A and B are shown apart, each in its own frame.
Chain A
Amino acid sequence: MSDHASHKGDGPEVYFQYEDIDQQQESYVVGMWSFLATEVMFFGALFLIYTLYRWKFHDTFFGAHEQLNWKMGGVNTAVLLLSSVFVAFAVHFAQMGKMKIVNLFLAGTLLCAGGFLVIKTFEYGAKFDHHLFPNHSFSYADPEHHESKSFWDEKLPSVLQMEKHEQEGDPKNARLFFSIYFTMTGLHGLHVVIGIIAISSLMILIKIKSSLITDYVPVELVGLYWHFVDLVWIFLYPLFYLIPR
C-alpha cells in the first residue's frame, strides 16, 4: 500500500503507522517471534504424541524405525544444516547492505532445500513400495522379534504394562509409528515448501529492487523462519531414525 507509506529521504521506507524505522523493524521482529512461538506449539503437540506412543510401544517403535534409511536422513540433516549456514550468511550480508551477495547465498539455500525435498521423495517412494504408507494397503511384518529392554519397561504404570503385554508385536502399533512419521515429516516438508516460496519471492523482490526491500529486516525474518524449519528437522531426525534399543 504505497499510498500509506512515506519516504523519508534515502533511508528505508517507514510505513505510516510507525514513528521511525527502529520501531518498524522491532515490530516486525517481535511479530515474527510471536508467530514462531505459535509454530513451536504446533509441532510441540506432535512431539508430545510421538513421545507418548514411543514410551508405550518402545519395542515396536524400535523395530519399525529400522525400516527407515538413516543414511538418507543423515544426508538430509547435513543438507539442511548447510542451508541454514547460507541463510546466516545472507542475513549477515543483508545487514551490510550487499544485496547481490545476499541473493547468492539465498540461491545456495534454495539449492539445499530442493536437494532435501528430492532425497525426501526417494525415501517416501521406498516406503510406498514396501507398503509402509499407513493407509489400507499397509502391511508390515516384524522382521525378527526384538526382545529389547528399555529404560521404561519397569517404570510403566501397571495399566500400561498390561496394555503393552497384550499388544506386543501387534502390527497396528508399527502403523502408528508410520502414521506419526508421515504426519510429522510431511508437515515439515510442507514448511520447507513454504520456505522455498518465501525465499524465491524474496530473491525476486531483491532482484527487481522492489520498494518492499529497503533494509535487512525482510531477509532476517525469512532467515528466522528458515532456521526454525531447520531446527524442527534437527529434532525429527534422531527421534525417527536413531531410536536406541
Chain B
Amino acid sequence: MSSTIIEQGTVEKPHSEKNYLNADHTLKSWLLTVDHKRIGILYLISVTFFFFIGAIAAAMIRYELTSPKGILLSSEVYNKTFSAHGIYMVFQFLVVAIPAVLGNFLIPIMIGARDMAFPRLNLLSWYMFITGGALISLSFILGGVDAGWTFYVPLSTLSENQISLCLVGIFITGFSSIFTAVNFVATIHKMRAPGMTWYRLPLFIWSHYATAIVVLLGTPVVAITLFLVVVERGFGFGIFSPELGGDPVLFQHLFWFYSHPAVYIMILPAFGIISEVITCFSRRPIFGYRFIAYSSLAIAFLGFAVWGHHMFISSQSAFQGIVFSIITWVLAIPSAIKMFNWATTMYKGSVHFSTPMLYALGFMGLFLIGGLTGLHLASIDTDIHVTGTYFIVAHFHYVMVGGTILGYLGGIHFWFPKMFGRTYSEFWGRLSAMIVFVGFNLTFFPQFMVGYLGMPRRYHYYYFAPEWQIYHILSTAGSSVLGLGFLMPGIYLTYAIFKGKKAGANPWGAKGLEWEKCASPPVTENFSEPVIVTGSIYDYNPEEDSKLYENEDDSMLSGRGGL
C-alpha cells in the first residue's frame, strides 16, 4: 500500500502489455528460457527450497540442544544434521542466493543491456545448480554425510558415509557459480549501455563485479581440493592422508583459500544491496561513491590473503599466524569504510523506514557486531581461547545471517515491485523485518555468552555443564521467533505475487535505470527504447524528495490492503 503512494505518471502502461512474466505461460517456456529475469525467478524458487531444508536441520539442532543430555538425536545423526545444515546453507543458499537471484535479474537492467552476455550459459548454470543440489540431497537420502561442511581430512577420507557423492554435488554447484561469474564479468565489461561509464555504475554492480572475481579465482581451488578427496576415497591416492604420505593441513590451507573468500562471495553482494537501499530511503546521493566501489575490490583481493586465520591452532607456524592476523585486521578497514559511508549517507538525509530500509538498518547493526567480534577472532590469543566454541558459531551467524540473509531479504523487498509488478503489504513487511531482527539477536547473542564460557561447537550435549541450559533455551526460543520471521515473507510475498496491488514502474521514487527506464515487471527485452546514460545515477535530493512520503503514514495506519 504505502509503496504506491508516489504517483508516477511516466511509465503507466496498460496492463494488457506483454512482460517477461506473461510472455508465455507453458512450463517448457520456463524450463528452457534464456531470459535472465526468468532464470532469476527459477533461482529464487530453488534457493528458497534449499534454504528451508537447511532451516529444518537448524531447527533440529536447536531442539536437540534444549537439554544438557540431548533429547532427539544420536551423536551420529546429530553430526549428519549439522553437516546438512552447513552444506545446504553454504553451498546451496548463501553463496548463490544474492548473485543468482537479484544479480541475474538486475545486472543487465542496471547497466542498460537486453540480457546477459551468454544467456544459454546462464540457463546451463541453473541446471548445474539443480543437479548439484539433487546429488547432495541424494547423498543425504542414501545415508548422510557426517564430516561437516568443511570436510576436514582424514575424517572425510575415513568416514564410511556418502561423502564422495556429496562432494561431486558440491563440485557441480561450484562450476555453476563459476559460469555465473564468467557471465557477470563479460556482461559488466562489455554490455554497458552508451554513457554507462565505470564510475556511473550502481554500487550493486561494483560489488557483484568484485564477487565475480572472487568466484572465478577461488572456486576452482576448492573444486580441485574436494576432487582430490574424492580421488583419495575412490582410488586410494594419498595426497592428504597422513598414512599415505600426505599432509592433512595442506587440505585445510587449500580449503580455506577458497572458503574464506567465500564469505566475501556471500557478503559483498549484500553490501551492494545495502548501498542501493540506504541511498534510496535516505534520499541522498551515496557518500564516497569511489571509496565504496574500491573498498569492494579491496575486500575481494585482501580476502585471498587471510585464510590462515582459520588455522591458528593447526600446525602452521607462529610467524604465519602473526602475518595472517595482521592482514585480517587490515581487511577490517574496507568493511569499516562502507559502514561509515552508509552512516554518512543517512546524515541529513530524509530517512524513511520502509521495509527494505528496516532490513538495511538491521543489517548494519548486526554486521557491526559480527565484524567487531571478527576482530576478536583475528587476534591470535583471543582466538585460541574461543576456537571451536559457540563464540565462533555466533560470530559467523551474525555475519552470514545478520549480514547476507538480511541483505538478501532487504533486496527482495526492495526490488519485489520490479520483479513482479505488484506491491506487498507494507505493514506485514515492517513487522517481519522487526521480528527477524529480534529473533535473530535472541538466537545468537546467548551463543556469544555460552561460547565464551566454553560450550564447544558440534557437541549435541553439555551434561558436564548443565548451567548452560538457560542460554540454549533462550537461543532455541529465539530461533522459533526467527523461523516465524522467515516464514512470514514467504507467505505475504507469495500472496502479493498473485493478489498484490499493481505497482507503478517506480513505486519508491528511486533512481537507476531499472526504476526510471524500465516497466514493472520488465518486458522481455528490458527496455522499450534504446538506453543512453547522461549523468550520475544517484541524483537524489532530500528536500524535494521528502514530499514523496507526506501522506505515507496515514495510509500506513489506516490498514488498507491488509495482507
Contact = CB atoms under 8 A, between A and B. Distances in A.
A208 interface: no
B481 interface: no
B245 A176 contact: yes
Contact of B190 (A30, A44, A182): A30
B331 interface: no
Given A1-B34, A17-B115, A37-B216, A42 B221 contact: yes
Given A17-B117, A37-B216, A183 B239 contact: yes
A206 to B, nearest CB: 20
Contacts of B185: 30-31, 34
Interface stretch (B77-85, B246-254, B294-302, B412-420): B246-254
Contact of A17 (B114, B220, B228, B246): B114
Interface string B154-190: 0000000000000000000000001001110111011
B308 to A, nearest CB: 14
Q: Which DSSP category, helix, strand, loop or mixed, fits chain B's interface?
A: helix
Given A1-B120, A27-B191, A35-B182, A45 B239 contact: no
A28 B120 CA distance: 13
Contact of A183 (B183, B191, B237, B317): B237
B236 to A, nearest CB: 4
Nearest to B215: A38
Contacts of A1: 34, 119-120
B215 to A, nearest CB: 9
B461 interface: no
B242 to A, nearest CB: 9
Interface stretch (A69-77, A90-98, A167-175, A229-237): A167-175
Interface in A1-51: 1, 4, 16-18, 23, 26-28, 30-31, 34-35, 37-39, 41-46, 48-49
A9 B87 CA distance: 51
Contacts of A26: 190
Contact of B237 (A4, A35, A38, A135): A135
> Which of A44, A167, A170, A172 has most B Cβ within 10 Å?
A172
A141 to B, nearest CB: 16
B239 A176 contact: yes
> Which of B185, B186, B218 has most A Cβ within 10 Å?
B186
B182 A49 contact: no
A43 B317 CA distance: 26
Contacts of B404: none
A31 B217 contact: no
B301 to A, nearest CB: 14
Contacts of B246: 176, 179
B210 interface: no
A41 B243 CA distance: 28
A101 interface: no
B116 A183 contact: no
A35 B180 CA distance: 11
Q: On chain A, which size bracket covers the interface?
A: 35 or more
Contacts of B228: 49, 183
B315 to A, nearest CB: 8
Nearest to A48: B254
A172 B238 contact: yes
Contacts of B216: 34, 37-38, 41
B528 to A, nearest CB: 14
A27 B246 CA distance: 42
A41 B191 contact: no
Given A1-B34, A176-B246, A183 B181 contact: no
A31 B117 contact: yes
A175 B238 CA distance: 7
Nearest to B236: A135
B119 A34 contact: no
A223 interface: no
B217 A37 contact: yes
A53 B228 CA distance: 15
A134 interface: yes
A45 B254 contact: yes
A209 B174 CA distance: 35
Contacts of A16: 114-115, 525
Contacts of B243: 172
Nearest to B257: A45
A50 to B, nearest CB: 10
Contact of B221 (A27, A31, A44): A44
A17 B190 contact: no
A173 B243 CA distance: 10
A214 B186 CA distance: 21
B250 A4 contact: no
Given A4-B34, A34-B181, A41 B220 contact: yes
A52 interface: yes
A34 B245 CA distance: 35
29 contacts: A1-B34, A1-B119, A16-B114, A17-B108, A17-B114, A17-B116, A23-B191, A28-B186, A30-B117, A31-B182, A38-B178, A41-B220, A42-B221, A44-B221, A45-B221, A45-B254, A134-B236, A134-B244, A135-B236, A135-B237, A167-B245, A172-B245, A175-B244, A176-B246, A179-B237, A179-B239, A179-B245, A179-B246, A183-B239
- 8 cross-chain pairs, A with B, having the tightest CB-CB distances, nearest first: A17-B115, A42-B220, A172-B245, A179-B237, A176-B245, A31-B186, A135-B236, A27-B190
Given A27-B190, A34-B182, A38-B182, 20 more contacts: A1-B34, A18-B191, A26-B190, A28-B186, A31-B118, A31-B183, A34-B181, A34-B185, A34-B186, A38-B216, A46-B224, A49-B239, A49-B250, A134-B235, A176-B238, A176-B244, A179-B237, A179-B245, A182-B237, A183-B239
